[in-house]
Amino acid sequence: MTLKALYLQTSAYNALDDRMMAGLLLDTGADPLSGIGRIIAGLLTSAQATPNMTVAVSPGRAVCPTPASDGGGYAIMNDAVLNVTVPPVSTLPRVDLILMAVDDADYSGSTYVPKIYCLAGTPAASPVGPAQPAGTLLLATLNHLANATSVVNSAISRNLWTSHEAEYYASTIQSIAPAGDRPLMFPVAGSITADVTKGIATGGSTADAKFTVTRDGVYTIEAGYRINGMTDGTSAGIWLGLDGTAAFRFCGSFTTNAVVANTANPGANGATQEWSISCTRRFGAGTAFNVYGWHNAAAARNSEPLGQTNHIRIIWLRP
């Protein structure tokens, strides 16, 4: 059937028809029928009062998609704090997802029950989160340090569905080679949303440097970059472009042949400079971006992660 209406007087209805009603509250993605889950209220993931290897999910309401592209969704309520067990962490860092889903025998298995659980990622020196399964709602991301024995609030990135905002930043330095555009890494999540995914940039196979939007619409993208060791006569800057190509730049900020402070002594390390960029425009689902850093100093220079000056923020505004 290509066209269906609810609820007509002489028709019969089943659970899938009821799920279509909840599906109207899902955020639409690239596929208008699959939908993206939405937190309506609450469902905040937090560390325990005495942190351990569980997290607490607060009461709240949400709409979770079905695992199939059938236009349906599940209306779910959590009326008490729910503790979720997190698997032990190894000698390498790891990124986990806290997910809501529904076991529904209409699609697979033999049970009918909602659940909130932890999906553990793969331990790695530069870990990335696991792929989010179909039919799940992302509540939070957990960023574990190596050998972690508890989950603290600083390791939890909550999902900010109501603002559709993702923000990532760098808390450690990145070495930027001279005379070339380098994708900048932003490994730490400040806020996350299903509107944006993070991955490995094509340029240099740089981890935590590719950001892909998952839905059509108007976005505001803003980024900042701070670099050390700039001397008189050198140039440097930042720009936003498509992943893996310099064919099109959306915005940029450069200082050319700069005269900077603290460079009277040729042996000095040079000065620190900082740039920011922003643009608001329409992008299609699947568009992937890098923030590129560039300089032409004689040797490699380090980014300076002062506060959250090295960051990217991507906000979906409207269809």
Categorize the per-residue pLDDT at 200 as very low, low, confident or very high, splitting at 50, 70 and 90. very high
List the beta bridge partners of residue 158: 140
The closest alpha carbon to 137, from 216, 42, 217, belongs to 42
Name the band, by pLDDT with cuts 50, 70 and 90, for residue 262.
very low
Token pair in block for residue 228: 């050390």
The answer to whether residue 121 scores a pLDDT higher than 60 is yes
* Inter-residue contact 310 to 225 (CB < 8 Å): yes
Q: What is the model's pLDDT at position 292?
A: 94
pLDDT digits (tens, 9 = 90+) for 10-42: 877 788 888 888 888 887 666 777 778 888 888
Distance from C-alpha of 88 to C-alpha of 98, rounded to nearest angstrom: 15
Q: Does residue 105 contact residue 55 with C-beta atoms inside 8 Å? A: no
Mean pLDDT rounded to a whole number for the chain: 87
Q: Which residues 6+ apart lie within 8 Å of 264 measured at CB?
A: none
Distance CA 166, CA 313 (A): 6
Q: How far apart are CA 92 and CA 89, in angstroms?
A: 7
Structure confidence by residue, pLDDT tens digits, 73-108: 999 999 999 999 999 999 999 999 999 999 998 888
Q: How far apart are CA 139 and CA 161, in angstroms?
A: 9
What is residue 270's predicted lDDT score, i.e. its pLDDT? 65
Query: What's the Rg (C-alpha) of the chain?
Result: 23
| pTM listed for this prediction | 0.59
Residue 44 dihedral angles phi and psi, to the nearest 5°: -85, 135
Give strand ranges (E) for 163-310. 165-169, 175-176, 182-183, 188-191, 196-201, 206-213, 217-230, 236-242, 249-255, 271-283, 288-295, 301-302
- Please state whether beta strands 165-169 and 175-176 pair in parallel, antiparallel, or not at all (unpaired): unpaired
Three-class secondary structure of residue 305 per DSSP = coil
**Please, what are the domains in the chain?**
26-162 (2.60.40), 163-319 (2.60.120.40)
169-188 pLDDT per residue, tens: 998 999 998 887 889 999 98
pLDDT of residue 263: 46
Confidence bin at 318 (pLDDT 50/70/90): confident
Residues listed for the chain = 319
Q: Are strands 271-283 and 301-302 parallel, antiparallel or unpaired?
A: unpaired
